Structures are given as structure tokens and as C-alpha cells.
């Protein structure tokens, strides 16, 4: 139990810098929180975070781009970070929210980066709005069939039944769910199960920028109605088939160390799909969170693409 | 005359479940089509059902809440119908168009409680087809009608969701294998979008008239 008479607990992390500006945009009734690093007059670059992440996970990466003369704009997706919790969450809704941010930043073409689910989002943005996206960077966000187990039919049927049961059970309690409170260390330990390769000091820092301190302890701000995984008709190949359609310069980065939150996509899955102006960079010894494990190297690749 | 209404909660949405006719026995649960709402009385063609009849307004429709900012998808609506089953217990489910697709998903997800799904023609039967079309991001829609429903975001999003045939047939298989019924799904409509063609190829799925479907499932 947190002693509420303590002064606010804080953590620092080497290189981490809070955003220079924060503002909100209304996306059809959902209030989206936007965070910016760098001078407001510098050319903008957008960043779409991954599922269960939030914009402040860029506190180390974004300042590297800002210091190179970019205005880095990242938003918390609905239900994540400081954005409003919604009644429903869907792919189309996330895309619409992204366009609300894009519209608020610039009507001119601009570069966009996406990590994981955010990488998948920017692929679709690049195809749907090619006149708005000048350069596209996908950080370990290319789903592949490798993540789908190859199972006999009867076993797949059983797995699906279990998945539907679990999903419906989650939906039934989604209205009254609450995230579990704990100390900074406890929340960091919980997150470490999703981020096993990231330093504990970093995860503790994230608690203080992605959590809120209630009287009974820290809680992640993310909507408890959100659930990892799920089921539906979506197929991974529906995403990667967007890649060859892109006409702008594209950088795709793969973290070669397999981990829970990643897709396990290999270079040979991506190479045949690369567009004419695409570059693929597999990073050996790096996991799914390439921009957090290797912020300098990834920032340099982004800057090279823009140059 | 106003029908009794029970308000149910699914996630943060309040749903309206209308009792169109009371009585003893297993209820018939009606799921409307895209953009429709629950009927005010038992439709003539369903009057032969021997038990009570209830009708659910799906999210964004009728007297149910809208999801602010949209985000509608068929599996969420299936969870709406699951909330209705939670209230009714067992039911035979009749769906029109979008409601037919939701009835199929529900029959596969809750095979112990759905004692027969009747799939009828209606608005929103096809969705986007077997796979997504070229991506299109619509950021504004017409204002909602007076009363707020149907939510324009529901109309937009639920008319363009992909419905792969093999995905739909998985739910038909779940319904057949896990319900213990000889016939778990009856297709009474005329239209055959690709997902429904695939469902018809599964064991435990038949084509028949509405009267036969009602009699068959009433006897289960």
C-alpha cells in the first residue's frame, strides 16, 4: 500500500525528457491527448505507438529527433495514456483518431513513424492517404503468418471456443473493471512480463508517466476494458499486403530477437513485399521495442531516410 | 401500447431489450438488421412461435446507447446479444441481415444457450465481403437523426467489416458440434453473400422456410 502522505513519487531515467507541449484534439467525441517534443516551428513528424503503450514511452527516443530539428508529435490512442476511454475500440476508430491528429498538425505531407500496432496503422494511413504522408517508418510492426500456430482443425476449433469464452467473459466484466493498484515497483514488475528485455529502471520511470497515483496506489491509465489479443476475422496478411502499395520512401525495421509482444516476422517474409522505395533493416540482438532498446541507432536511420 | 423494456449493460453501453410478448417456454430473441430497430409488436411472420418473444436493440440502434466516437464491429454486437442471453437464459435467435450474421456468431459462441439460429434476409447482410477493400478513412458522417439512432458511425462501420467465408463457417461448426442439435442453424432468406454460402456447406445447417424453422426449433 502506498503511503498517501508521501510527496509525489517520481523517477528519472537517463536521456528521458518530458514533452515540450501537450494538447488535446477532439476525435468525434473522444478526447485524444497529444504530446510534442521540439520547436513548434520545426517540420513535424508523427509517431503512432503500439498497443498497450502510450506516447510518453517516447521520452528518450523523441528528444533525439527533436534535437535534430524535428517537431515530434505523438498521441495517446483512445483508451491509452491520457486519452479518453471509449465505449468501443476498433481499427477504423483508431485510424480516424489518427487523422484527427494529422489534420490538427498539418495539411501538408509529413513523415510518420509507427511501432508495432502503430506500424500497422501507419501502413494503412499510407495507403489511404498517400497525399498526406511523405515518408513512412515501420518499427517492428509488420504482422506475419508466423505468429499463427499451424494446428489441425479439431484443435483449432477447441482453441477458438476457449478464446471466444475468454473474450465474452472479459466483455461481461468490462464495464466495472479496474486496474490493480500497486507500488511503482509492482507495476513495473507487471509490465516486465510484456517488456522482458527492457530495464527495470525504465519500466519504473514509465509507471510515473503512464500511471496515476490513486489513494490506494499507482494504476496504469490504460482502459481496463482493453484486452490483449482477441478474436475476429482479421488476418495478418491483410496488413503486409499493403506494404508493396506504398509509393513514398519507406523504412521497415525488424527486431530479430523474438518476444511476446512481437510478430516474429523474419526478413524473408518482408523482402518480397518491399515497395520500390523501401528499405528493410533487420536489427540483430534487438527485441520488439527497437526504438527503446536502440534509440540512437533507430533515430539515425529515421534521419537518414528524411535526408 | 409500450412494451416492457429491460436495460442491460455491455461494457459502457446501455442496451434496450424489449419484451414483445410474454408467456411460458423458451423465448425467441429477435436481432434487427443494420439501421433498423426492434419491432413494436411480434411480426406476423413470427407469430407462430409458441413462447415469449423479445427483441434487442443492438449498440447504436433503437433505444440502446450509441458508442461515442464509433468503434462498432460485429463481435462487439455479438457480445450485446450475449448480454441478452445472460438475461433470458436459453433462446432461439432470429436475425435479419446484420442481425443474422450476429445470430450466427452467437450460436457459435454460446452453443449451450442458443437453441437454433434462424438467419433471414435484411439490411447489412454482406458487410464488406470476404476481405477488406482498398482502405478508406472517413472522418465525418452526417449528423445522427433525431433521437440519436441509428448512429451514423454504426451504419458506416458495420456495412464495411470483412466477413471471410472460412471465419463464418467456423462459427457454424462450433454451433453444430457443441450445441448437440441435429440442426443448429436454419437459413430462411434468399440472399447468399459469400459467408452464408460457406455456412450452408457445413453440417447442421439447413435451408428451409421460416414456418418450418420456427416449428423445428420450438420442438427442440
Which grid coordinates are listed for A268? 524473408
Q: Per the domain annotation, does A293 fall within a domain?
A: yes
Q: pLDDT for B56-113, tens place per residue?
A: 999 999 999 999 999 999 999 999 999 999 999 999 999 999 999 999 999 999 999 9
Residue A232 near chain B (CB below 8 Å): yes
Domain check: are A142 and A160 in the same one? no
The rounded percent of chain A whose pLDDT value lies above 90 is 80
In this complex, do B164 and A174 lie within 8 Å of one another by their Cβ atoms? no
Where b means 16+ CB within 10 Å and e means fewer, A130-146 reads: eebbbbbbbbbbbbbee
Q: Per the domain annotation, does A63 fall within a domain?
A: yes
Domain check: are A94 and A212 in the same one? no
Domain check: are A255 and A182 in the same one? no
Predicted pLDDT of residue A1: 43
Predicted pLDDT of residue A144: 83
Tell me what the mean pLDDT of segment A186-200 comes to: 95
- In the predicted model, is pLDDT for residue A148 greater than 70? no
User: Grid coordinates 483449432 are at which residue?
Assistant: A156
Q: State the pTM of this model.
A: 0.94
Distance CA A91, CA B73 (A): 9
**CATH number of the domain where residue A245 is located:** 3.40.50.1820
C-beta of residue A65 within 8 angstroms of C-beta of residue A302 = yes
**Chain A positions in Cβ-Cβ contact with residue B12 (cut-off 8 Å):** 85, 87, 174-175, 225
Domain check: are A200 and A302 in the same one? no
Domain check: are A197 and A280 in the same one? no
Residue B112 near chain A (CB below 8 Å): no
Tell me what the mean pLDDT of segment A104-119 comes to: 97
The two counts, helices (H) then strands (E), for chain B are: 6, 8
C-beta of residue B172 within 8 angstroms of C-beta of residue B185 = yes
Picking from A153, A165, A127, A154, the residue whose alpha carbon sits closest to that of residue A250 is A127
Q: Per the domain annotation, does A167 fall within a domain?
A: yes
- In the predicted model, is pLDDT for residue A7 greater than 90? no
**Phi/psi at A199 (5° precision):** -60, 145
Name which of A92, A120, A235 to mutate to probe chain B: the one with the most chain B Cβ atoms within 10 A of its Cβ.
Answer: A92
Nearest chain A Cα distance for residue B21, angstroms: 27
Out of A87, A172, A175, closest to residue B68 by CB: A87
Number of domains observed in the structure of chain A: 2
- Where in the sequence is the domain holding A90, given as residue range(s)? 21-148+235-306
From the number of C-beta atoms within 10 Å of its C-beta (0-12, 13-18, 19+), residue A48 rates as buried
Nearest chain B Cα distance for residue A129, angstroms: 8
Nearest residue of B to residue A245 by CA position? B134
**How confident is residue A231, by pLDDT bands cut at 50, 70 and 90?**
confident
Alpha helix (H) residue ranges in B150-189: 152-157, 165-179
Predicted pLDDT of residue A149: 60
Domains delineated in chain B: 5-218 (3.40.50.1820)
In this complex, do A225 and B11 lie within 8 Å of one another by their Cβ atoms? yes
Alpha helix (H) residue ranges in B115-161: 152-157
Q: Per the domain annotation, does A108 fall within a domain?
A: yes
C-beta of residue A24 within 8 angstroms of C-beta of residue A34 = yes
| CA pseudo-torsion sign B182, B185, B191, B196 | negative
Q: Per the domain annotation, does A282 fall within a domain?
A: yes
Domain check: are A185 and A92 in the same one? no
Domain check: are A107 and A42 in the same one? yes
C-beta of residue A92 within 8 angstroms of C-beta of residue B70 = yes
In this complex, do A172 and B86 lie within 8 Å of one another by their Cβ atoms? yes
Q: Per the domain annotation, does A8 fall within a domain?
A: no
Of A192, A220, A248, which one is at a domain's C-terminal end?
Answer: A220
**How confident is residue A260, by pLDDT bands cut at 50, 70 and 90?**
confident
In this complex, do A86 and B173 lie within 8 Å of one another by their Cβ atoms? no
Q: Which residues of chain B fall below pLDDT 50?
A: none
Please give the interface size between A and B, counted as residue pairs whose CB atoms are below 8 Å apart.
126
**How confident is residue A151, by pLDDT bands cut at 50, 70 and 90?**
low
Of A191, A220, A249, which one is at a domain's C-terminal end?
Answer: A220
Tell me what the mean pLDDT of segment A271-286 comes to: 96
Highest average pLDDT, of A42-51, A148-157, A227-236, comes from A42-51
Element (H, E) at B119: strand B114-120
Domain check: are A71 and A111 in the same one? yes
Of A220, A244, A269, which one is at a domain's C-terminal end?
Answer: A220
Predicted pLDDT of residue A3: 47
**How confident is residue A5, by pLDDT bands cut at 50, 70 and 90?**
very low
Which grid coordinates are listed for A225? 476494458
Q: C-alpha A124: how far from its chain's center?
A: 15
Domain check: are A241 and A140 in the same one? yes
Distance CA A144, CA A237 (A): 6
Domain check: are A84 and A100 in the same one? yes
Q: What share of chain B is helix, strand, coil (3-state, %, to 5)?
A: 30, 20, 50
C-beta of residue B9 within 8 angstroms of C-beta of residue B15 = yes
**How confident is residue A173, by pLDDT bands cut at 50, 70 and 90?**
confident
C-beta of residue A128 within 8 angstroms of C-beta of residue B135 = yes
- In the predicted model, is pLDDT for residue A111 greater than 80? yes
**Chain A positions in Cβ-Cβ contact with residue B174 (cut-off 8 Å):** 157, 160-161, 164
- In the predicted model, is pLDDT for residue A2 greater than 60? no
Residue B148 near chain A (CB below 8 Å): no
Q: Strand ranges (DSSP E) for chain A?
A: 21-27, 30-37, 44-48, 71-75, 110-115, 133-139, 211-214, 217-220, 250-255, 278-283
Q: Per the domain annotation, does A163 fall within a domain?
A: yes
Distance CA A66, CA A74 (A): 12
Amino acid at each position: 500500500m502506498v503511503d498517501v502522505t508521501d510527496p509525489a513519487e517520481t523517477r528519472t531515467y537517463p536521456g528521458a525528457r518530458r514533452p515540450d507541449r501537450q494538447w488535446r484534439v477532439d476525435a468525434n467525441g473522444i478526447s485524444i491527448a497529444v504530446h510534442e517534443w521540439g520547436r513548434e516551428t520545426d517540420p513535424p513528424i508523427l509517431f503512432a505507438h503500439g498497443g498497450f503503450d502510450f506516447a510518453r514511452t517516447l521520452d528518450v527516443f523523441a528528444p533525439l529527433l527533436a534535437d535534430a530539428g524535428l517537431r515530434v508529435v505523438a498521441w495517446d490512442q483512445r483508451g491509452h495514456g491520457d486519452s479518453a476511454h471509449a465505449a468501443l475500440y476498433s481499427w477504423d476508430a483508431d485510424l480516424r483518431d489518427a487523422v484527427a491528429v494529422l489534420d490538427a498538425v498539418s495539411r501538408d505531407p509529413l513523415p510518420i513513424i509507427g511501432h508495432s500496432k502503430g506500424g500497422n496503422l501507419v501502413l494503412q494511413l499510407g495507403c489511404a492517404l498517400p497525399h498526406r504522408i511523405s515518408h513512412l517508418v515501420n518499427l517492428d510492426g509488420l504482422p506475419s503468418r508466423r505468429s499463427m500456430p499451424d494446428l489441425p482443425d479439431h484443435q483449432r476449433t477447441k482453441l477458438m471456443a476457449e478464446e471466444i469464452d475468454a473474450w465474452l467473459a472479459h466483455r461481461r466484466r468490462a464495464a466495472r473493471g479496474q486496474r490493480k493498484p500497486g507500488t511503482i515497483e509492482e507495476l513495473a514488475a507487471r509490465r516486465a512480463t510484456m517488456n522482458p528485455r527492457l530495464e527495470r529502471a525504465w519500466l519504473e520511470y514509465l509507471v510515473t508517466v503512464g500511471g496515476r497515483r490513486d489513494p490506494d496506489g499507482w494504476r496504469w491509465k490504460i482502459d481496463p476494458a482493453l484486452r490483449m489479443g482477441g478474436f475476429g476475422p482479421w488476418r495478418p496478411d491483410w496488413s503486409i499486403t499493403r506494404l508493396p502499395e506504398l509509393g513514398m520512401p519507406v523504412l521497415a525495421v525488424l527486431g530479430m530477437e523474438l518476444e511476446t509482444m512481437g510478430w516474429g516476422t523474419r526478413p524473408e517474409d518482408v523482402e518480397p513485399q518491399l515497395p520500390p522505395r523501401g528499405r528493410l533493416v533487420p536489427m540483430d540482438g534487438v527485441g520488439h521495442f527497437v526504438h527503446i532498446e536502440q534509440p540512437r541507432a533507430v533515430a539515425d536511420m529515421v534521419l537518414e531516410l528524411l535526408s | 401500447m409500450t412494451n416492457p423494456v429491460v436495460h442491460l449493460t455491455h461494457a459502457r453501453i446501455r442496451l434496450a431489450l424489449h419484451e414483445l410478448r410474454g408467456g411460458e417456454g423458451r423465448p425467441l430473441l429477435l436481432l434487427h438488421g443494420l439501421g433498423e430497430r426492434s419491432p413494436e409488436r411480434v411480426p406476423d411472420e413470427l407469430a407462430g412461435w409458441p413462447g415469449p418473444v423479445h427483441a434487442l436493440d443492438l449498440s447504436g440502434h433503437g433505444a440502446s446507447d450509441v458508442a461515442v466516437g464509433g468503434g462498432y464491429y460485429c463481435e462487439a454486437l455479438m457480445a450485446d446479444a450475449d448480454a441478452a442471453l445472460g438475461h433470458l437464459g436459453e433462446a432461439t435467435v432470429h436475425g435479419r441481415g446484420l442481425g443474422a450474421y450476429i445470430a450466427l456468431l452467437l450460436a457459435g459462441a454460446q452453443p449451450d444457450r442458443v437453441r437454433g439460429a434462424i438467419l433471414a434476409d435484411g439490411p447489412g447482410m454482406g458487410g464488406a465481403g470476404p476481405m477488406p477493400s482498398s482502405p478508406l478513412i472517413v472522418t465525418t458522417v452526417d449528423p445522427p437523426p433525431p433521437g440519436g439512432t441509428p448512429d451514423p458511425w454504426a451504419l458506416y462501420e458495420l456495412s464495411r467489416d470483412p466477413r471471410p467465408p472460412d471465419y463464418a463457417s467456423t462459427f457454424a461448426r462450433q454451433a453444430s458440434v457443441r450445441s448437440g442439435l441435429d440442426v443448429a442453424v436454419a437459413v430462411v432468406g434468399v440472399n447468399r453473400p459469400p459467408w452464408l454460402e460457406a455456412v450452408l456447406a457445413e453440417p447442421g445447417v439447413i435451408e428451409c422456410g421460416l414456418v418450418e424453422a420456427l416449428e423445428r426449433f420450438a420442438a427442440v
